[in-house]
Amino acid sequence: GAEILTSRCNVGKEEDVASILFTDAVVDASKPLAGIFHLAGLAGDGRIAELTWGSFLEQATAKIHGSHHLHSHSIAGAPPMALDHFVLFTSIYGLLGNPQLSHYAAANAYQDGLAHM
């Protein structure tokens, strides 16, 4: 049988991700972690002409930095985690864009690119 472990942290902060991925419950050799599902995201108005760097980061950090931190820490162990699944929940806006959600479209495009690495 499978066991589902849910964790809540600020995935935009590398130390928060590391503290979750390297807990005893996750690194238990008798029940190895089989998958990571990253569902975090934040969508708010963000026309590109009105977007500041600060507001871009505020809106996109959960997806961009979160995906990067989860990926890099899942392969950083010795040995790296042998995951069956690394799932990033993205949006069609990463492909098609959206003039009202430029930061959200960019963050989803980043996740799409990471998924194809």
In percent, how much of the chain has pLDDT > 90? 38
**SS3 state at 87:** strand
Q: What angle do CA 56, 92, 54 make, to 5 degrees?
A: 0
CB 47 within 8 A of CB 98: no
**Greatest mean pLDDT among 24-33, 75-84, 102-111:** 102-111
Q: Which domains does the chain have, with CATH numbers?
A: 14-115 (3.40.50.720)
Mean per-residue pLDDT, 86-104: 90
pLDDT range class, residue 8, cuts 50, 70, 90: confident
In percent, how much of the chain has pLDDT > 70? 98
Please tell me whether the overall predicted TM-score, pTM, comes out greater than 0.75 for this model: yes
What's the whole-number average pLDDT of the chain?
87
36-93: pLDDT as tens digits: 999 988 777 778 888 899 988 888 999 999 999 999 998 887 677 889 999 999 999 8
Distance, in Å, from the CA atom of 37 to the CA atom of 40, rounded to the nearest integer, reads 9
Give the pLDDT confidence score for residue 78 in this predicted structure: 63
pLDDT range class, residue 109, cuts 50, 70, 90: very high
